[in-house]
Amino acid sequence: MASANKNKIVEASAILGWALESLADIGYSDEIIEDGQTFADNALIKARTVHKTTGFCAIADDSGICVDYLGGEPGVYSARFAGIHGDDDANNKLLLSKLENVVGDGRKASYVCAAACVFPDGEEFVALGELKGHLLDGPMGEGGFGYDPLFVPQGCTESFGQMDQEKKNQISHRMLAFTQLKELMDIYFKGQGAKWLQ
């Protein structure tokens, strides 16, 4: 999987039921520039880059949170919203500051995930998952990562930060995207992909 994020690897592995290797596992340390305009663009950039470099079947995802009140921000910039990539605490604080005194429907948000796969023969697939919910006034729970402590999925009373991993994996945006991707990959495996799997 074209990611160095251990949390993403764990979630995707659990959802797919496969043992996925991270970029660190294969000794890949080059920076991948995610300059796409959409989550799908960035997921494909990562998967294509690792596939081109290694020749391996590469899976990648790009995900983030889109807040209605902010016109869809932070969107594809979710991981680096506060300026430093992967600084969850700073990202959460900045998001809360932008929503100060915003109540009700203004706190509606969607967690979005694009999952992509590129096969050795160049065949590629992308699947999208979106989970609607709302943002809390402050973080709740110690679990998850990213904006999980702030995000409560629609129909739930707990934030992702309060849920255990199994419960989160049953409803998350990543589950929605990777479940669809697995279905597409299974179709491929049963067809032309069977040649290189043998």
Residues recognised as catalytic: 62
- What φ, ψ does residue 51 adopt, rounded to 5°? -65, -45
Nearest to 174 by CA among 3, 29, 8: 8
**Residue 121 burial (CB count, 10 A):** 12
Task: Please tell me what DSSP assigns to residue 163.
Answer: S
Side-by-side strand order, sheet with 151-153: 58-67, 108-118, 124-135, 151-153
Structure tokens at 24: 């660190």
Q: How far, in Å, are 67, 157, 163, 172, 187 from residue 108 at the CA level?
A: 6, 14, 19, 16, 36
Structure tokens at 149: 């402590």
Q: How far, in Å, are 8, 28, 64, 114 from residue 22 at the CA level?
A: 10, 9, 20, 18
Structure tokens at 108: 């509606």
